Amino acid sequence: MKSTTNKQVLITGASSGIGEAFAHEFAKRGNAVILVARSEAKLIDLAAKLHNQYGVQAEAIVCDLSQPDAPARLYQQCTERGLHVDILVNNAGFATYGLFEQLSGARQHEEIRLNVLAVVDLTHLFLPDMLKRKSGIVINVASTAAFQPLPNMAVYGATKSFILSFTQALWEENRKRGVQFLALCPGSTETEFFNVVGANEASVGKRGTPAGVVQAAFRSLQANRVYVIPGFQNFVSSQLSRFFTRKQMLFLVGRMLRPRT
């Protein structure tokens, strides 16, 4: 495992939920944190709390990563501020819920740009610097949604499948070059995620806590795992596709996620 102390850590979607939990955990371990999200007030407040509580440098950068040029602008800001990123946590993302053709095409494009393109672009921008130093960590937050298609959340499930596959491939490409990759695949978690989705149907199973998800990530980094699914029930449910046909899985998941009204 690469060291997770005395590093500079960039966390997207840092203003709440899993991103905020990562910020606290990394700061507690003595790392400088670069907090990235759209909410300026929340970021500034969190940066002040982390600095006061842990005595670490905490930078707040307001950035909407769903915009096409946002990753490049974020990288430029880090360069201009003299911030070199040792650990990258690609956490920002959101979901849409409903029948594909009835959802806003623009909103689904935004979902793909944030969940997929921003992750690809940020990794592509920051990875070369890590490789030059022969040291780095990239944590990409996927989901249990990555393990099967999701009727009524078709685009979201597809984006998370992409992140899992992408991260696994880069784990192999870089495992002997000094950079560690991890795909973090939480199930339903107590965050603002479901407020954004706007449908309780999107929440399946008992919700975990952001802190628990983050602890699972750190344990998995220690073990140099390729991916981790926090929670036993989440792990079991993600493995069902091994025992059912694809059509059976679609029927099962479709019933779980269908509208309740």
Domains of the chain from N-terminus onward: 8-257 (3.40.50.720)
Which residues lie below 8 Å from residue 82, measured CB to CB, with a gap of 6+? none
156 given a catalytic annotation: yes
Say how far apart CA 99 and CA 145 lie, in whole Å: 17
Site of tokens 């990258």: 88
User: For residue 141, which of 183, 180, 189 has the smallest C-alpha distance?
Assistant: 183
Mean pLDDT for the stretch of residues 197-213: 71
- Among 54, 97, 156, 227, the active-site one is 156
β-bridge pairing 32-37 and 8-12 = parallel
* pLDDT for the residue 24: 98
Residue-wise pLDDT for 149-180, tens only, equals 999 999 999 999 999 999 999 999 999 999 99
> 98: phi > 0 → left, psi -120 to 50 → alpha, else beta; which?
left
Residue-wise pLDDT for 39-79, tens only, equals 999 999 999 999 999 999 999 999 999 999 999 999 999 99
pTM over 0.85: yes
* pLDDT for the residue 142: 97
Residue-wise pLDDT for 80-120, tens only, equals 999 999 999 999 999 999 999 999 999 999 999 999 999 99
End-to-end distance of the chain based on CA atoms, in angstroms?
48
* DSSP 8-state assignment for residue 145: G
Mean pLDDT for the stretch of residues 179-190: 93
As a whole-number percent, the residues of the chain with pLDDT over 90 amount to 77
